Amino acid sequence: MNNSRITFKISRIAVILTFSILLLGCTKGKTKININQESSAIEQDTLNDVIWQIKAYHPQGKLLDVKAIDKEGNIFDVKAIQHSNQTSLLDVKAFVNGKLLPVKILISEDKYMPVKAIDTDGTIIDIMALTDDGKKLDVKGVSQSGNIINIRAINSDGSFYNIQAISPKGWINDIEGVKMFKTPVEATINGVDIFAHVKSIPLAN
């Protein structure tokens, strides 16, 4: 991807974030989403959140589940949540014991940056991709281009699997880290310093 494309993508994300903040502060009613890939029709009604599945894309064409796994080995869903008619910037949450927990990139001195869920008491919960034979692959930020951190599942041989969100209608977004500030600490959530947010964003060209 050349510099002009990266700059365009970063600018678009910044605009989307700004509008999202404004909408959260101003919107009192909500809209039910009826996604149609051909017409993008929107039905004005009571909002039902649209849940996007999150998968790791295996080079052989397989889709691996991406899950949150606590220290006891309990496995929980990780999803992208669409609250409105825009699909360009979706939150990623772990569904843990009835709670929706934020999924973030944490600060680390390691080569790759850990992607984790953060519980309300600050407990860190692993985010991993699960293979058919029971292997657990780390999900981490592996590289950075401007404000975008590329998130991948890492196989034992060092190869990377893309992480993607898939809508009920088959739309596909990338799961990437988004950094808004130049400082190492992007924010502190439940007592944990984070490096970047984790979002579902349109596929890179």
What pLDDT is recorded for position 34? 32
Q: pLDDT tens string for the chain (205 positions)?
A: 444 444 445 444 553 454 344 334 333 333 333 333 332 333 333 357 899 999 999 777 889 999 999 999 999 999 999 988 788 899 999 999 999 999 999 999 899 999 999 999 999 999 999 998 889 999 999 999 999 999 999 998 889 999 999 999 999 999 999 999 999 999 999 999 999 999 999 977 6
Q: Say how far apart CA 14 and CA 20 lie, in whole Å.
A: 10
Task: Give 100's strand partners.
Answer: 95
Cα separation, 40 vs 44, whole angstroms? 13
Are the C-beta atoms of 127 and 68 separated by less than 8 Å? Answer: yes
- The pair of structure tokens assigned to 85 is 């008619």
Domain count, the chain: 1
Amino acid at 185: V
Domain span holding position 123: 3-202
Q: Token pair 């500030």 is at which residue? A: 181
Closest among 9, 3, 4, 47 to 148, alpha carbons compared = 9
Q: What is the dihedral angle through the alpha carbons of 76, 80, 84, 87, rounded to the nearest 10 degrees?
A: -170
pLDDT of residue 160: 93
Contact 190, 118 (CB under 8 A): yes
16-43 as b/e, with b when 16 or more CB fall inside 10 Å?
beeebeeeeeeeeeebebbbeeeeeeee
- pLDDT at residue number 205: 60
